[in-house]
């Protein structure tokens, strides 16, 4: 009888050069599943702060009541979360135009598998053997330019239209673009997952993520190193974005 996956979770969030933090993240676990959710809000005047927290709380609540077992089912929970977010909008207040990105990872602890879904440009990275083997694809204008062959992937983080999204929570359902995935490979001992907002990946490329992971003695040490690198590389930009990361390290069974 399998004892299932073992894992540990660590979090980092920082307001960066902003006056308040519009990122949010959280996780929920049962004996058979782990659900992680991370969101980056937008909307101005505090609306983004409200939006990201609502998305995390509502998606985790929906998952706890009706757990997903594949990417399509998780994406359906995101669509329901989007309806709940839109229902919380209040014209004439900070909530009137709130939006949020979201990325969610689910680990099936009994079957040693993973599925995920996302909207916007918050990302999921999957590391195996210390290398990035999977990464979500942003719903953004620059990703569309990369897909069309106009930009290279290396040019995304510095492009002036990097922050323009094609999809975000808060849009009408028929305009909401979601993506979901089921792992092509089983989750292995020592695999690492990283969920992060664009305040992380704007400054930290794949090589740096892999190198710092290889050098890290613990989860928290890795996240602290990522935070230091963001601050170092963003020091020329006084108002650099909030940055948030959630990492899951899979242990030996």
Residues 76-120 have pLDDT tens digits of 999 999 999 999 988 777 777 899 999 999 999 999 999 999 999
26 pLDDT higher than 60:
yes
For residue 1, the model assigns a pLDDT of: 34
Q: How confident is the model at residue 215 (pLDDT cuts 50, 70, 90)?
A: very high
Which two structure tokens, joined as six digits, stand for 79?
A: 């669509």
> Coil, strand, or helix at residue 82?
helix
Instruction: State the Cα–Cα distance between residues 171 and 178, nearest whole angstrom.
Output: 11
By the 10 Å C-beta count (0-12 exposed, 13-18 middle, 19+ buried), 66 is classed as: exposed
Tens-digit pLDDT profile for residues 173-188: 999 999 999 876 899 9
Candidate from 170-179, 208-217, 230-239, 243-252 with smallest mean pLDDT: 230-239
Q: Is 148 exposed, middle or buried (0-12, 13-18, 19+ CB in 10 A)?
A: exposed
Please name the CATH architecture into which domain 6-137+168-251 falls. 4-Layer Sandwich (3.60)
pLDDT at residue 46, rounded to an integer: 62
DSSP 47-63: HHHHHHHHHHHHHHHHH
pLDDT at 2 over 70: no
Mean residue pLDDT of the chain comes to 90
Which sequence spans correspond to the domains of the chain? 6-137+168-251
| Res 16 pLDDT > 70 | no
- The pairing of beta strand 123-128 with beta strand 131-135: antiparallel
> What pTM, to 2 d.p., does this model score?
0.92
Q: In what order do the strands lie in the sheet with 23-29?
A: 23-29, 33-42, 99-108, 113-119, 179-182
Encode pLDDT of 134-176 as tens digits: 999 999 888 888 878 888 877 777 777 777 788 999 999 999 9
Contact 22, 251 (CB under 8 A): no
| Paired residues of 28 in beta bridges | 35
For residues 54-73, average pLDDT: 97
- Determine the Cα–Cα distance for residues 121 and 163; give it in Å rounded to an integer: 8
Q: Which two tokens stand for residue 47?
A: 């609306």
């Amino acid at each position: 009888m399998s004892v299932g996956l073992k894992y540990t979770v660590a979090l980092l969030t920082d307001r960066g050069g902003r006056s308040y933090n519009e990122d949010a993240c959280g996780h929920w676990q049962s004996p058979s599943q782990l659900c992680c959710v991370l969101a980056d809000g937008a909307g101005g005047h505090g609306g983004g702060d409200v939006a990201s927290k609502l998305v995390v709380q509502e998606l985790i609540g929906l998952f706890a009541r009706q757990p997903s077992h594949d990417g399509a089912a998780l994406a359906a929970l995101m669509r329901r979360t989007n309806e709940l977010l839109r229902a919380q909008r209040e014209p004439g207040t900070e909530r009137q135009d709130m939006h949020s990105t979201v990325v969610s990872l689910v680990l099936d602890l009994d079957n040693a598998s993973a599925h995920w879904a996302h909207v916007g440009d918050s990302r999921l990275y999957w590391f195996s053997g210390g290398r990035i083997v999977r990464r979500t694809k942003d719903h953004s204008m620059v990703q569309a330019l990369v897909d069309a062959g106009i930009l290279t992937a290396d040019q995304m983080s510095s492009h002036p239209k990097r922050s323009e999204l094609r999809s975000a929570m808060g849009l009408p359902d028929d305009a909401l673009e979601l993506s979901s995935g089921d792992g092509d490979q089983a989750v292995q001992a020592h695999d690492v997952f990283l969920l992060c907002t664009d305040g992380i990946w704007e400054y930290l490329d794949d090589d740096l993520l892999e190198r710092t992971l290889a050098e890290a003695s613990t989860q928290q040490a890795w996240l602290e190193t990522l935070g230091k690198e963001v601050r170092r590389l963003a020091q020329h930009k006084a108002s650099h974005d909030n940055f948030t990361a959630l990492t899951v390290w899979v242990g030996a069974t």
